[in-house]
Chains A and B, each alone.
Chain A
Amino acid sequence: MSWPLYSSMMKSHAKMLGGFIYGAVAYIVLIIWIYPSIADMKGFNDMINALPEGMRKLIGMENGINSLADYIAGEFYGMLFLIILMVYVILTSTRLMARLVDQGSMAYLLATPNSRLKIAATQAAVIITGLALIVAFTTLSGIAASEWLISGYELDVASFVTLNVLTFLIFLVIAGYCFFISSSFNDEKKALGISAGLTLFFYMLNMAGKLSEDTEWLLNFTIFKLYDPIKMINNETDALLTGTMLVMAALVLFGGSLVVFKKRNLPL
């Protein structure tokens, strides 16, 4: 790690990161704030139950809304947060490597006595920090909002934190393969296109897989299979096992990125 580069990168990155944090925090607070009115609405669950099963799975409300935890997990973690993090990870990973090579400013970073491994590791640290900050701020404001903004509804903090840690790890893996792609290409647009395309493809497989039992096998080919917010918050998954697997995958992907970047020709 090169600390001067890290702090300079974080600084120029702060505005964009701030936007993402603001978006995520504002939305989770809003969604918690309106929970009491939805929970009190009679017939809401009947309406949900009237939907076909595949549809319910898709919008993350398999069993209707029975608790605040289910509601947050389904409404926020199942949809919007997923999209926020996907966009963040894809954009940022492309900016940190492929863009600098494409534009040529990487030449200046490598013209200092810091090895390629060190430079790439610093850039990886920037995206990991950014991702961690978004999830951390969201977790804190989720806990704060359910504590102070509404009364009479309990949120189990421990399992909420577990959900957030697992969410962070899933996106760490996604960041890992995006970073790998970004480290391997000279063309910023190409890197962005491939990262976005692949992630979208995984997401579509996930949607298609959840639609019916005939298509369930598709889930085996997508990382989002591991991402089931409602099960996670209800502690129905083996968090330790999933977590360990994700950490390993992230290590391999980021490590691979550094090696690829070290070995390749750069058109600088």
Chain B
Amino acid sequence: MINVKKLTKRFTPEKGLFDLNFEVKKGEVFGYIGPNGAGKSTTIRHLMGFMKPDDGGSTINDLDCWAKSAEVQKLIGYLPGEIVFLEGMNGLDFLNLMQKMRKQNVPQKRDELIERFQLDVKTPIRKMSKGMKQKVGIIAAFMHDPEVLILDEPTSGLDPLMQRVFIDLILEEKQRNKTILMSSHSFQEIERTCDSAGIIKDGRLVALEDIHSLRTVQRRVFEVKVKKESDVETIRQSQLQTEVMGKKTVHITVQGNDQEFVQLLSHCEVEHVDTRPQDLEDIFMHYYDRKEVVK
């Protein structure tokens, strides 16, 4: 459904997109992961037809995203990374305008979504919080029941409860065979919904795999606090990669060998286990070190 081929856009020799290739099949949910400034939004801008590629290009449903952008838009629901609405309107005015500009006048899905996200649509947009704007944006993206959804960091600004509502929504749309591309800078978010993912760094795709294989290469660091100092010794003796942080605290790195980790801990008296939040480079050191495009 979404096809990106040799997409290249040079802003400077180092910044931009370089020879990007990936495909999202119909009914698939694709996670697009990368740190800030890696080129996620730039790729999405090309898919939306806001930018003209220097080389290569992208198609949605075999329509070129630049040359046929207005036609492509019929298929797409779009959530921008940075949401800015027109001035001097309230939420409902805006949603109505969007529907009219799409020549659609079936409000059921819209009202259902408003209900679901518990949005007060009469609030003037300039008085809306980040989270409220995000909700309006999500509703605007889903309300015309598009075939393809392009979502740029969809959960930013939402509280955990609303994130849950959003994830359920994605899973439902997936059931209905919709094609979804969503970007994120957090693997955890992608993990829960996506079938496959691409990892982008400095404008280059460094990995393109299904979620299962990404999970096995994902590195997680656990901070384990034990009761006895002898347990620290037991842990250090193991095959796992460990680092002693304090008298009774050890950092254990787990990468696909969760079983061993649990067995090891079963020999110790554990007081506290916690995962440490990490950035993408740490989670996927494996890919970032190699620095080459996996096809």
A contacts, CB < 8 Å to B: 2, 4-5, 8, 12, 100, 103-105, 107-116, 118, 263, 265-268
Q: Give 21 CB contacts A-B under 8 Å.
A: A5-B97, A5-B101, A8-B93, A8-B97, A103-B84, A104-B82, A104-B83, A104-B84, A105-B84, A108-B140, A109-B101, A110-B50, A111-B48, A112-B73, A112-B102, A113-B70, A114-B73, A114-B101, A116-B70, A118-B70, A265-B50
Selected from B52, B78, B84, B86, the residue in CB contact (under 8 A) with A12 is B86
Chain B interface, >50% SS class = loop
Query: Judging by beta carbons under 8 Å apart, are B51 and A110 in contact?
Result: no
B157 at the interface (CB under 8 A from A): no
Q: Which residues of B contact A (CB under 8 A)?
A: 45, 48-52, 69-71, 73-74, 76, 78, 80, 82-89, 93, 97-98, 100-103, 140
Chain B residue nearest to A104 (CB atoms) is: B84
Q: Which of B51, B80, B85 contacts A265 (CB 8 A)?
A: B51
Closest to A12 in B: B88
Q: Inside 8 A of B84's CB, which chain A residues have their CB?
A: 103-105, 107-108
Query: How many Å lie between the Cα of A8 and that of B92 in the bound state?
Result: 13
Complex Cα–Cα for A104 and B133 (A)? 14
A104-B82, A110-B69 known; A4 vs B87 contact (CB < 8 Å): no
* Known A110-B49, A266-B50; 14 more pairs at CB < 8 Å: A2-B101, A4-B101, A12-B88, A105-B84, A105-B85, A107-B78, A108-B86, A109-B101, A110-B73, A111-B48, A112-B73, A113-B102, A115-B69, A268-B45
Ranked 9 nearest A-B pairs via Cβ: A4-B100, A104-B84, A115-B70, A112-B101, A12-B88, A111-B78, A113-B73, A266-B50, A113-B74
Distance in Å: Cβ of B52 to nearest Cβ of chain A: 6
A100 to B76, CA, bound (A): 21
Q: Does the CB pair A114–B86 fall under 8 Å?
A: no
A210 → chain B closest CB, angstroms: 40
The interface centre, meaning the residue of B48, B85, B101 with most chain A CB atoms within 10 A of its CB, is B101
A89 to B71 CA separation, bound complex (whole angstroms): 33
A-B interface contact total, Cβ < 8 Å? 78
The distance from the CB of A107 to the nearest CB of chain B, in whole angstroms, is 5
Q: When the two chains form the complex, which single residue of B74, B76, B80 contacts A104, counting CB atoms closer than 8 Å?
A: B80
Q: Which residues of A contact B45 (CB under 8 A)?
A: 266-268
Instruction: Check B85 against A108 for contact (C-beta < 8 Å).
Output: yes
CB A91 to nearest CB in B, in angstroms, measures 14
Min distance, Cβ B15 to any Cβ of chain A, angstroms: 13
Docked Cα-Cα span, A112 to B45, in Å, equals 14
Across the interface, which residues of A come within 8 angstroms of B85, CB to CB? 105, 108
In whole angstroms, what is the CA distance A175 to B84 when docked?
26
Please, how many angstroms separate the alpha-carbon atoms of A118 and B74 in the complex? 15
Nearest opposing residue in chain A for B88, CB measure:
A12
How near does chain B come to A20, taking the closest CB pair, in angstroms? 17
Instruction: Say whether B101 contacts A268, CB under 8 Å.
Output: no
C-alpha gap A4/B50 in the complex (Å): 22
Rounded to whole Å, the gap between the CB of B152 and the closest CB of chain A is 10
Cβ of B80 and Cβ of A12 under 8 Å apart? Answer: no
Contact A114 B51, CB 8 Å, known A5-B101, A104-B80, A108-B86: no
User: How far, in angstroms, from A5 to B97 measured CA to CA in the complex?
Assistant: 7
Instruction: Report the separation of the CA atoms of residues A254 and B89 in the bound assembly, to the nearest whole angstrom.
Output: 28
Q: What chain A residues lie within 8 Å of B82 (beta carbons)?
A: 104
In the complex, A100 Cα to B93 Cα: how many Å?
A: 17
Chain B hits for A109, CB < 8 A: 101
What is the chain B residue whose CB lies nearest that of A95? Answer: B87
Smallest CB separation, B204 vs chain A (Å): 20
A-chain residues with CB within 8 Å of residue B76 when the two chains form the complex: 111
Residues in A whose Cβ lies below 8 Å from that of B71:
113
Tell me the nearest residue of chain B to A99, going by C-beta.
B87
* B48 close to A105 (CB less than 8 A): no
Task: Compute how far the CA of A104 lies from the CA of B71 in the bound complex, rounded to whole angstroms.
Answer: 21
Q: Shortest distance in angstroms between B113's beta carbon and chain A's nearest beta carbon?
A: 17
- Residues of A close to B78: CB separation below 8 A: 107, 111
- Give the distance in Å from the alpha carbon of A266 to the alpha carbon of B50 in the complex: 5
Q: How far is the CA of A268 from the CA of B102 in the complex (A)?
A: 20
Q: Which residues of A contact B52 (CB under 8 A)?
A: 263, 265
CB distance from A251 to the nearest CB of B (A): 23
A8–B88 CA distance with the chains assembled, in angstroms: 10
Q: Are B89 and A12 in contact (CB under 8 A)?
A: yes
* Chain B residue contacts of A266, Cβ below 8 A: 45, 50-51
